[in-house]
Amino acid sequence: MNISQAEWQVMRVLWAYPNSRSSEVVTRLEEDFAWKPATVKTLLNRLKGKGLIQMEKREGKFYYRAEVAEEQHLQDEWHSFFENVCQTKHGELLSSMVAEASLSASAIKDLIELLEKRLETAPSQVICACSKGQCSCHHACERK
Query: Is the pLDDT at 137 greater than 80, yes or no?
Result: no
Asked if the model's pLDDT at residue 135 lies above 90, the reply is no
Predicted confidence (pLDDT) per residue in 17-72, tens digit:
999 999 999 999 988 998 999 999 999 999 999 999 999 999 999 999 999 999 99
pLDDT of 24 reads 95
The answer, yes or no, to whether residue 143 has pLDDT greater than 60, is: no
pLDDT digits (tens, 9 = 90+) for 80-112: 888 889 999 999 999 999 999 999 999 999 999
Q: Which CATH architecture has domain 5-66?
A: Orthogonal Bundle (1.10)
Per-residue confidence at 138, pLDDT binned at 50, 70, 90? Answer: low
Which three-class secondary structure string do you get for the chain? Answer: CCCCHHHHHHHHHHHHCCCEEHHHHHHHHHCCCCCCHHHHHHHHHHHHHCCCEEEEEECCEEEEEECCCHHHHHHHHHHHHHHCCCHHHHHHHHHHHHHHCCCCHHHHHHHHHHHHHHHCCCCCCCCCCCCCCCCCCHHHHHCC
Q: Where are the chain's structural domains?
A: 5-66, 85-144
Residue 141 has pLDDT above 70, yes or no: no
